[in-house]
A and B are shown apart, each in its own frame.
Chain A
């Protein structure tokens, strides 16, 4: 996977309000955008984790019976 594909995803999440971004300086004094999780994003992450957990559990169960 190309590293650049990260950015459309990041910007999409920013538009959804799950993360927020600010311009800042790195240790090397370069300008960069720093992303951080918002409260809304945290909630969404929990939901997604939960559904991922269910999915993997389900898959695991299927594999066990297979």
Chain B
């Protein structure tokens, strides 16, 4: 209780004081009365009573010290004083607060992204225990697992609570007027148990529904529930129609459940005991598993390896070629974001560091002006610690205000983040939460220490008598190497950031200049819902594909149409080991190529030139394939490639084909990558996810309605979706790239401006400090040019030294960035020269103003001021 009473007393110091005065005064009065009654006169009694009691004020103070926690009181007093002195210097306070708001705000915004994407576990109960499972098979790029093997893994392992799996298919829901495309996730049994989520409404799949021949059942997403059913609570039991079968809705998932991605509309069961699911060669599922408590990832990996090697003995074909892969769900969803985010975080921390240095320099200027105040405090008995603490309190108050404002900045910034990078994983989880608030507070404390401690220590080190005596009478002030060094450091950091941003900008520019080897303009892409079941009838699906392609090409305004399993220019790697029918000699290099599955119209639609042979000529002994120039030159001596039969060993899904022609190199696997060797399989049937490409005469988006109508006419039971120009897909694939570039450029510009403000502020301060010196020199005949030149030289020298140091930092930073650069070397001279030119020009401008102001000093006026 004592601490509570003490704490309360701090909050009401006046009342405490009043009570103490009353209590102690009572004592004195009583004693006085006693003495008077013993015969003293009034005056005598009063004097004697006071003498006996001792110094009343001192006793009250000593008593008071017992009633309050003293260190806390000191803290309160410091903050009160700080607030008062900051209000008195509004320009200074505002500068510091705004600087920190930008610094802390940007930092917290990036931190909130890191927190959401990298640090927080996936949004499932105990999400850190979730792992993603896949398989690696010799000579096959397919990572997906056969349903029967997934069941084996689930049954035979001893380290997982459960293993399930999922794969997606775009389905057409047919109960409306037009078929509506819904993204349907087929899941293996135990799906929701493994993820640890239950439906918000209704129930999970029942055991009967998990078996082949059991009742149909689907779970719907919260999004679909809102869109289609207007949040009707009686939705359970209603049905959706897919491919002539009715599926009753058994439950609605909570809004936060977006797995495996946020586009999923429905989840339905893929029973593992279905007759069509019994082949061990099927590649369907991405596995998802939950580790038993206390089991580490590597233990679980080892265990699954053992399980698989047992399976290999039992089913040598194909299980002996297969090994399981396992990684944490948290890692697998993030992908390449990690590096980007850490780079952004390190740059934004550099920015905060610059802000701190800026404030430190400002504080040092201010404390020099306050030397007298500090000297007075010392002479009144203030200890060095208490004087320094008071200064730190001032900085802390500013930092807190800055952090508060920064929090608002961060909230705004994360909104921008979300809108700029809608497609990045988990980006919608970025939100203001207590972790961000705590982080902001930590930032505030760190800035206080970084920017306040040093000036506080330095300003309290001054010799007391010297500064009292000096009292601003110095004619020539000493040098201020430390302040200039701080400004130089700011310049150095700014140079490093600007160089990094410059390199990214140049990469981006280079990427825009790349000749992709194909023409993405004016091509419209679209997809048509298809089920995996249809692929069992290759002939039928190929006919359907041809009919759709013909229909699209016959539309007015359409030049040509094509299909492709993957979009060109969007980074997707499908490397395959390929062999010729007659086999390759040991001495020849092994053939490794990217596979693309296209319709014959693909090359005309994308203007990929034919170099030799014919395009997809049908009628050879084998289905036609095409190769690109790199493939032909690297592996088959150029034009002699035509006629070769190529096959992919151990892959039942890709038939052997005969090379019918050679086409030009196109950057199929991403604009930022050199064209790899590519083999095109011509005329593959319709598969889920297949893209149709329509080359229009004009604006591709103008074709959308026509295309939609045509497909509905040809395939009334299928939905059309994802109608987007090809160029949007390509630029979307580089969204992360763009976001990174924009953000880093923003930070760099802020850093340069902060450094300039620092340079300007410090130089102005030096000028004001040496006003009398300058006036004296002018009075003695110095030229104004000389004076201006002298200050300009100080500023430029600082900037140049900063630039030199900055170049070293920039080299380190560029090394960090090297993986993200395209078409520029980390030591690109153009970029570096540009950065130096900008920084030097801006610093010259920032130095010029104070320098000119120094030269304009009126000698008589300045000397008379004292």
- Nearest CB in chain B to that of A15: its residue: B2
**Does A32 interact with chain B (Cβ within 8 Å)?**
yes
Residues of A within 8 A of B5 (CB): 15
Bound Cα distance A10, B22 (Å): 15
- B2–A2 CB distance below 8 A: no
The prevalent SS among residues of B at the interface is helix
Residues of A within 8 A of B67 (CB): 11, 15
**Does A50 interact with chain B (Cβ within 8 Å)?**
no
Tell me which residues from 53 to 95 in chain B have a Cβ below 8 Å from any Cβ of chain A: 53-56, 58-59, 62-63, 65-67
Report the number of A-B residue pairs with Cβ-Cβ less than 8 Å. Answer: 54
Residues of B within 8 A of A8 (CB): 59, 62-63, 65-66
- A7–B22 CB distance below 8 A: no
Bound Cα distance A32, B24 (Å): 9
Q: How far is the CB of B38 from chain A (nearest CB, A)?
A: 16
Q: How far is the CB of A27 from chain B (nearest CB, A)?
A: 11
With A3-B53, A7-B63 given, is the CB distance from A31 to B22 under 8 Å? Answer: yes
- B23–A7 CB distance below 8 A: yes
Tell me which residues from 1 to 28 in chain A have a Cβ below 8 Å from any Cβ of chain B: 2-5, 7-8, 10-12, 14-17
* Cβ proximity bits B18-52 to A, threshold 8 Å, 1 near / 0 not: 00001110110111000000000000000000001
Q: How far is the CB of A53 from chain B (nearest CB, A)?
A: 28
Give the size category of B's interface with A.
Answer: 20 to 34
Partner of A4, one of B26, B30, B53, B66: B53
With A11-B63, A11-B67, A33-B23 given, is the CB distance from A4 to B6 under 8 Å? Answer: no
**Does A61 interact with chain B (Cβ within 8 Å)?**
no
**Does B1 interact with chain A (Cβ within 8 Å)?**
yes
- A4–B24 CB distance below 8 A: yes
- B54–A5 CB distance below 8 A: yes
Bound Cα distance A40, B22 (Å): 27
**Does A64 interact with chain B (Cβ within 8 Å)?**
no
Residues of B within 8 A of A16 (CB): 2
Residues of B within 8 A of A10 (CB): 63
Bound Cα distance A30, B67 (Å): 24
Partner of B66, one of A3, A15, A32: A15
- B26–A32 CB distance below 8 A: yes
Partner of B29, one of A7, A14, A15, A30: A30
Bound Cα distance A14, B6 (Å): 11
Q: How far is the CB of B52 from chain A (nearest CB, A)?
A: 5
- A3–B6 CB distance below 8 A: no
Q: How far is the CB of B47 from chain A (nearest CB, A)?
A: 14
Bound Cα distance A31, B26 (Å): 8
Bound Cα distance A2, B26 (Å): 16
- A4–B55 CB distance below 8 A: yes
Residues of B within 8 A of A4 (CB): 24, 27, 53-56, 58-59
Q: How far is the CB of A34 from chain B (nearest CB, A)?
A: 11
Bound Cα distance A10, B63 (Å): 8
Q: How far is the CB of A9 from chain B (nearest CB, A)?
A: 8
- Nearest CB in chain A to that of B61: its residue: A8
Partner of A2, one of B22, B29, B53: B53
Residue among A4, A31, A33 with most chain B CB within 10 A: A4
Residues of A within 8 A of B29 (CB): 30
With A8-B62, A15-B5 given, is the CB distance from A2 to B52 under 8 Å? Answer: yes
Bound Cα distance A17, B4 (Å): 12
Residues of A within 8 A of B53 (CB): 2-4
Residues of B within 8 A of A31 (CB): 22, 26
Bound Cα distance A15, B59 (Å): 17
Q: How far is the CB of B32 from chain A (nearest CB, A)?
A: 12
Residues of A within 8 A of B63 (CB): 7-8, 10-11
Q: How far is the CB of A16 from chain B (nearest CB, A)?
A: 7
Q: How far is the CB of A31 from chain B (nearest CB, A)?
A: 7
Residues of B within 8 A of A30 (CB): 26, 29-30
- Nearest CB in chain B to that of A9: its residue: B66
Bound Cα distance A3, B23 (Å): 13
- A3–B54 CB distance below 8 A: yes
- A5–B26 CB distance below 8 A: no
- Nearest CB in chain A to that of B58: its residue: A4
Q: How far is the CB of B136 from chain A (nearest CB, A)?
A: 72
Q: How far is the CB of B22 from chain A (nearest CB, A)?
A: 7
Partner of A11, one of B52, B56, B58, B66: B66
Q: How far is the CB of B863 from chain A (nearest CB, A)?
A: 56
With A11-B66, A16-B2 given, is the CB distance from A3 to B55 under 8 Å? Answer: no
Residues of A within 8 A of B22 (CB): 31
Q: How far is the CB of B865 from chain A (nearest CB, A)?
A: 51
Q: Which 3 residue pairs across A and B have the least CB separation, nearest first?
A: A2-B54, A4-B59, A11-B66
A-contacting residues of B (Cβ < 8 Å)? 1-2, 5-6, 22-24, 26-27, 29-31, 52-56, 58-59, 62-63, 65-67
Cβ contacts A to B, 5 pairs, < 8 Å: A2-B52, A3-B27, A4-B55, A8-B66, A31-B26
Apart from A3-B53, A3-B54, A4-B24, list 4 A-B contacts with CB within 8 A.
A2-B52, A5-B54, A8-B59, A31-B26
